[in-house]
């Protein structure tokens, strides 16, 4: 049962693929992966993955955020933010846990707050 829950947690509900562009407000329950261009607002109780080719101009409110592409905007995560080595972030982060790989470009401020609410 534990492994089934683990698989569901990482199932991708929505994808904005490489070469695609989306502008607007995206609300969902679950996981979204962005490999294209997104401008607007993302709100989910799940996970946001910004792929290496992803370019987002948005505020992100999620449980978990993993960024490997370019992010312009603020990230509010109730559980964790991971910035991969290929990430370029211009914005602020509010989260209880932050992981930053070597090579990240980050311009902004960070608040580590164990009681973060999205």
Share of the chain above pLDDT 90, in %: 74
What is d(CA 39, CA 100) in angstroms, rounded to the nearest whole number?
24
Per-residue pLDDT tens over the stretch 45-88: 999 999 999 999 999 999 999 999 999 999 999 999 999 999 99
Over residues 101-118, mean pLDDT: 84
In the predicted model, is pLDDT for residue 102 greater than 80? yes
The predicted model scores a pTM of: 0.86
Neighbouring CB atoms inside 10 A of 23's CB total 11
In angstroms, the CA 61 to CA 47 distance is 9
Structural domains in the chain (count) = 1
Residue carrying the six token digits 């070597």: 102
**Separation CA 3–CA 16 (nearest Å):** 27
- Residue 73 belongs to a domain: yes
Is 117 inside any structural domain?
A: no
Please give the residue range of the domain that contains residue 17.
Answer: 2-112
**What does the pLDDT read at residue 4?**
41
Evaluate whether residue 93 is within a structural domain: yes
Contacts of 112 (CB under 8 A, 6+ apart): 95, 96, 97, 98
Query: Would you say residue 62 lies in a domain?
Result: yes
């Amino acid at each position: 049962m534990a492994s089934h829950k683990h698989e569901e947690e990482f199932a991708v509900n929505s994808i904005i693929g490489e070469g695609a562009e989306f502008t607007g407000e995206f609300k969902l329950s679950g996981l979204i992966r962005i490999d294209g261009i997104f401008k607007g607002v993302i709100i989910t109780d799940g996970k946001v993955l910004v792929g290496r080719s992803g370019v987002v101009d948005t505020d992100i409110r999620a449980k978990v955020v993993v960024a490997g592409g370019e992010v312009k905007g603020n990230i509010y995560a109730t559980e964790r933010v991971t910035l991969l080595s290929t990430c370029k972030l211009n914005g602020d982060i509010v989260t209880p846990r932050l992981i930053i790989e070597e090579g990240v470009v980050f311009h902004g401020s960070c608040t580590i707050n164990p009681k973060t609410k999205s």
